[in-house]
Structure formats: C-alpha cells, structure tokens
Structure 1
Amino acid sequence: MNSQKEFFKKLNEDRLIASIKNPKSLDQFLQTEIQSAFLLTGNISVIKRYVDLLKKHNRFVFLHIEKIPGISYDREGLKFISKFVQPTGIVSTKSSIIQSAKKEGLLTIQRLFLIDSDAVQNGLRTVREIEPDLLEVMPALMPEMISKLKKELKVPIITGGMIQSQQHIDAALKSGAIAVSTGKPWLWHVQLSKSVSSKMN
C-alpha cells in the first residue's frame, strides 16, 4: 500500500476525510475522489473485508478502534490489527492505544474532545508525551481553539464533528487544520474555496 509520505500528499490535495459510519456510506465513499477514510462501522468478523475493499481502491483507511466491536484494546489487539487487518492506521481517544499502535508501525491519530479548559490542557500534555502522527480535535466549530492548538503543538491538526456546511469546512481549514473529517456524504463532494485549497503549511 502507499507510504506515509503518500498519505500526507493525498491529504494535502483533498483536505477532507470521510467518516464512514455504515455500509451504505462505504459504497458512497467509493464513488468520491476523497482518498482517506475513518472507518467507524463493522466488527471483528468483517473489518478486514472492509479494509481490503478500500485498499483495493487505493484508499487510506484508519480504524476508529473504540467503534469496532470485538477488537481488544490491548497490545495483542493492536498486533492483530497491524498484522492481519492491515489498515493505514488507527484513530483513538486513548493514549495507551496510540502508544501500542505506534509500536506496531501504524499511523496514529489521537482524538481530543474540547470539552473544557482542563480537557484542553490534559490533551496538550498527552499529545506532547505520546506524539501521535496527527491530532483530531472535536468539535470543528471552534476555529479559535484550532488556531491556539496549532501554535502550541508540532503535531498536524485535523478536525471534525458538527460540520454542517462547506462554510464550516472552509472556516476550520482557514484556522489551521490540515483537513476536516465528516460523516455527511453530501459534503464529500464540496469544492473548497481557493483560499483554503492550497498546500499545508
């Protein structure tokens, strides 16, 4: 499959990531030109089939571990994902999972919910310690917080959650996010404004 460098190259071109929450969305995603997806559907018995299908279409696929029933969160579970399922990487809110996934050679995306100031400070500390490949902050409708985190962290930031329109996507990208994730198929075809479709910093 394509390299980590190729993933970032494609992400730079798309600026969008599809969050796939059901099998129907999987089919809809394959009809788009977006190259990257978060997989939040399936279970241990079908997840490899889903991943293989996406890879067959040259897509980058990240498993949201906590959303896939039947897969354990321990080191052995991550070994199973890395050696057998073989996605591009994983998404998780748990720093222990991020650490284990990194040891197994998977790309890692730490998800952080901006609930309050304590959550932000704890998140900053965790990201500096764990050093995931990317940080996803949620919800996306807080551009000032995206700008703040971008200034304080070296980790590339993506964002998602509560996105309802192309304007929301544009605002998140203008604030410094390198990409936006959304589970709404009608937004997988948006044309980004010229001011936010340029290359990542």
Structure 2
Amino acid sequence: MTHQSFLKLLCNGPVIPAPRMIEDFKFALTQTAAPSIILLFSDVNTLPGLLAQAQQHKKRLVVHLDLLDGAGKDRAGIKLLARMGVTALITTKPHLGKFAREEGMIVIQRLFLVDSEALKTGIHLVNSYKPDALEALPASIPASTVEQLARETNLPILAGGLLHTREDVANALRNGISAVSTSHRELWDFSDM
C-alpha cells in the first residue's frame, strides 16, 4: 500500500479527530468529513456500541489500545478486539502491534521522541516489525527529525500532542508531517488549511 492510499484510509485532509470524551466522539462522527477517528477513551463494554456508531456513519475507528480499559494487553486481547470488529489501532507497545498485524489490523506505532536516543530506538523498533505508520509525539518535532524518520522507516509520519492552534498544525505539516491527530475540536475543521 502506498503512503497516499494509506493516508486516504485515515484522513482526507491534514487532521484526524482524536476525541477523549463521548460528546466529542459524537461531534466527530456527525460534524467532520474525516473517514477515521482515533478513539482516546473507552472500554471493552462500550467499544462495541462505538464501533456500531462509527460504522453507521461510515467512519473507521482507530482504537488507542493503551487507553482502552478491559482488554488484556496480550495476544488474546488483540484477538478479542479483532472479533469485535476493530480494524485499526494505535499503540506504544510493539509486541501488541505485531499481534494486531497478525490479525490483519492497520497498526500505527506511537513514538515519544524526547531526544536523539529515543529517535534511534524508535527507528529500530518500527523496522523490527513494520507497522503501517508512525505517530510521533510531540507534533512540534523538527523537520530534520521528520525527514530522518521518513527516510529510515519508509513509513507515513503522523504526529500528535501539543497542538493548540491552527498555526501549530500548519507548522507540523510544513515540517513534513503527513497528518496530525488532535483532541481539540476547534482544529478538526481543516477545509481551509
């Protein structure tokens, strides 16, 4: 799958909504044109209903596995999510990403890039199992770091974290980020970016 075709699965612009509360989730379903939503809350009891709502609105849920309560953080938990209908997830844990790939899920590996050693470790980690994309945090990483990530992993580079203004989003995009995720509802309308 090319970078462009992968990105079209997630977004049709530079911003992927990432709601933290049910009210924002409902807003993202009904008031945004984004084809995917990154879910930053839920548990195994409420997830089936959220998946059904997303399907009704023709949106893909990307479940943030590290923030999902009640699913074992192991192979059995990933299999449970696959049976529920989860088709995409984001995680900081590469072993869970590997299990999700085995289940045919889209996997986004989240990396916290706090220094050069974290960058080096992150590149090694993703090259060991090849997720579908990376999400780098914070979104304000320098253009040279984005370029190095893209060159050394050959993956689409998403970013999130510390995005508060439209200028923050624009700066991330100028630095080479393919798309950003944000929980700030006021940044979800990207039609004029």
Give SS of 2:136's match.
Answer: strand
1:8 offset after TM fit, Å? 3.1
Match of 2:129 in 1: 130
1:15 offset after TM fit, Å? 2.1
Q: 1:69 to 1:10 in 2, by over 3 A?
A: closer
Structure 2 Cα separation of the partners of residues 114 and 70 of structure 1: 28
Kept in 2: contact 1:65–1:90 (CA 8 A): yes
Match of 2:67 in 1: 67
Report matched runs for 1:25-44 at 5 Å.
25-30=24-29, 31-44=31-44
Indicate yes or no: 2:183 matched with 1:178.
Answer: no
Match of 1:134, as an amino acid? A
Kept in 2: contact 1:14–1:35 (CA 8 A): no
Q: Unpaired runs of 5+ in structure 2?
A: none
Structure 1 Cα separation of the partners of residues 45 and 11 of structure 2: 33
Match of 1:14 in 2: 13
Match of 1:57, as an amino acid? H
TM-score, normalised by the number of residues in structure 1:
0.88
Match of 1:154 in 2: 154
Match of 1:94, as an amino acid? K
Q: Identity of counterpart residues, as a percentage?
A: 30
Q: Unpaired runs of 5+ in structure 1?
A: 194-201
Q: 1:152 to 1:80 in 2, by over 3 A?
A: same
Q: How many residues align?
A: 189
1:174 offset after TM fit, Å? 2.0
Match of 1:115, as an amino acid? V
Match of 2:127, as an amino acid? R
Structure 2 Cα separation of the partners of residues 51 and 14 of structure 1: 22
Kept in 2: contact 1:170–1:192 (CA 8 A): no
Structure 2 Cα separation of the partners of residues 32 and 12 of structure 1: 11
Q: Deviations over 1:120-175 (max 9, x none)?
A: 11100011111000000000012322233123220111001000111111121122
Match of 1:66, as an amino acid? D
Task: Note the aligned Cα RMSD (angstroms).
Answer: 1.8
Match of 1:198 in 2: none
1:12 offset after TM fit, Å? 5.6
Match of 2:187 in 1: 187
